[in-house]
Amino acid sequence: MIEANFHLDYSGFSLNVELHLPEKGVTALFGHSGSGKTTLLRCVAGLDRAPKGRLVVAGDIWQDEAQGIFLPTHKRPLGLVFQEASLFPHLSVRKNLEYGMRRSGNKTGEGFDASIALLGIGPLLDRAPDSLSGGERQRVAVARALLTRPRLLLMDEPLAALDLKRKQEILPYLEKLREELDIPVFYVSHAPDEVARLADHLVLLENGQVVASGPLMETLARADLPPAFTDDAGIVLEATVTAHDPDGLTRLEFPGGHLYVSYRDKPLGSRLRCRIHASDVSLALTAHGDSSILNTLPATVQTVVATDTPGHVLAQLALHDGTLLLARITERSRLALGITPGVAVVAQVKSVALLA
């Protein structure tokens, strides 16, 4: 378990967080600009010192102001990856990586080959940083951070400076990090689809406060989040590819039912994540056979809450297996259909965003 409690004040901004986070997997720190994501990450790194702070990583105390304990950044066994790769321009990729090993006292090259393979940078080793694309530079930066043998990897919006093509290039490698690393990763982002694709655990921040923290899929499915998050409302499902139909559709199965999506070139049995935005879900009281919407799921209304958009509400639905779904509808539709807790409905999924 990672315990992170920080309380500090700046002019016009205060950070007050108390968190207990898992020791494995990717924890995404998500929120809009100014919510405190990077400040929290800097406190964890020891770059900012909270006058009231405590940080315990796997039983080791890195900071406890009540006991006068504060490990400076260079004494914390962590890896740092920022928006810019910050590679040494006069050194080759190989030499940049060797620097990371020397910094940690790794004289035997432990983990070198594994990090190269994990990030797919073998062909880049003898190249200069200025000859690399933005995505390639970030992959090298991640490998260099891993070669310091960290117990915690911190990533501050590592894709923010990349265009869409370069983001798509590096995302599969970051997914491999989630699947194969035995150390925890803190990942700062303001991109909802990026978080939905990579995270295992989610921390939502607003005005320096934690408004929600928990497993990704459970937290995204909550209907009681602050209005600032309702525009991004939606759920994430993990599904299995079970069929490729002749008409160009791929069938995905998940515990709560099945979905059809545009053809996806994935082998049968492949696992992937998909995101269903609340705004892409409409509700009906009965199933319709004369609709162009292929994806319909029987559900029961759990709760209905107002959103920050006048005249709109957010309905939380439960499928037969307990899987939660969100639907954003108008208040007029809610009244016309009698959408209240306990009512049986048919959720009509207009669009499914594939995340892998």
Are 129 and 161 in contact, with CB atoms under 8 Å apart? no
Q: Output the pLDDT for position 109.
A: 62
- Among 286, 283, 287, 289, which residue's Cα sits nearest to residue 301? 283
- Among 240, 86, 256, 108, which residue's Cα sits nearest to residue 158? 86
Mean pLDDT of 2-19: 94
pTM of this structure: 0.90
Are 210 and 203 in contact, with CB atoms under 8 Å apart? yes
Mean pLDDT of 321-329: 95
At 318, the pLDDT band (50, 70, 90 cuts) reads very high
Are 87 and 95 in contact, with CB atoms under 8 Å apart? no
Q: Output the pLDDT for position 38.
A: 93
Mean pLDDT of 51-80: 95
Domain 2-225 has CATH 3.40.50.300: yes
Task: Give the pLDDT confidence of 159-206 residue by residue, as tens digits.
Answer: 988 888 888 889 998 988 888 888 999 999 988 888 999 999 999 999
Q: Output the pLDDT for position 200.
A: 95
Secondary structure string (H, E, C) spanning 16-64 = EEEEEECCCEEEEEECCCCCCHHHHHHHHHCCCCCCEEEEEECCEEEEE
Q: How far apart are CA 141 and CA 157, in angstroms?
A: 13
Q: Where in the chain is the domain with CATH 3.40.50.300?
A: 2-225
Lowest mean pLDDT among 179-183, 226-230, 347-351: 226-230
- Among 150, 126, 157, 152, which residue's Cα sits nearest to residue 140? 126
Other CB atoms within 10 A of residue 251 CB: 17
Secondary structure string (H, E, C) spanning 213-226 = EEEHHHHHCCCCCC
Domain 234-354 class?
mainly beta
Q: Where in the chain is the domain with CATH 2.40.50.100?
A: 234-354
- Among 98, 222, 120, which residue's Cα sits nearest to residue 171? 120
